[in-house]
Amino acid sequence: MGLACGLGGSDMIEQDQHQAALDVEFDFEDYGAITVRQYLRMLLTTLWEEGEGFSGKRPFGNSGWEYDLYRPLIKAKFIGGQLDEDGWIESIDDPRTAHAFVSDLIIAAFGV
């Protein structure tokens, strides 16, 4: 987690990579083209507005919502995986690494 400490050479590269990943655009449901950063903001806003009624299983109405983020990040080569000919996820090389990368993006989105 280079973002929380002094920014050495590899930390700057990691920070640049996270910022580039946050700026990846993709089509999301009825919203059209949004960035990964906007998606994360929408997720947090939904959590806040719905409070105890928030559905972690279906925050935007359908399950498997993590894949909404994994798909554009695989396409942009930030996460290892395969998409089928229609652009849907066929496989994720290392789900733990993918999960950790998105966790890092959440931290990076707030600049801390």
* Structural domain span for residue 43: 9-51+61-109
Domain annotation covers residue 4 = no
How much helix, strand and coil, in percent to the nearest 5, is found in the chain? 55, 15, 30
Residue 105 counted as domain residue: yes
Range 93-106 average pLDDT: 96
Q: What is the pLDDT of residue 29?
A: 81
State pTM to two decimals.
0.81
Note the pLDDT of residue 4. Answer: 44
Q: Find the DSSP H helices in the chain.
A: 9-22, 36-50, 66-75, 95-109
Residue 71 covered by a domain:
yes
Q: How confident is the model at residue 92 (pLDDT cuts 50, 70, 90)?
A: very high
Give residue-wise pLDDT tens across range 26-82: 999 878 999 999 999 999 998 999 888 888 777 776 778 889 999 999 999 999 999
23 found inside a domain? yes
3 is a domain residue: no
Q: Is 56 within the bounds of a domain?
A: no
Assess contact for 36 and 22: CB atoms under 8 A: yes
pLDDT of residue 37: 96
Q: What is the pLDDT of residue 54?
A: 85
Number of domains in the chain: 1
User: What is the pLDDT, as a whole number, of residue 112?
Assistant: 66
Is position 1 within any domain?
A: no
- In this structure, is residue 83 part of a structural domain? yes
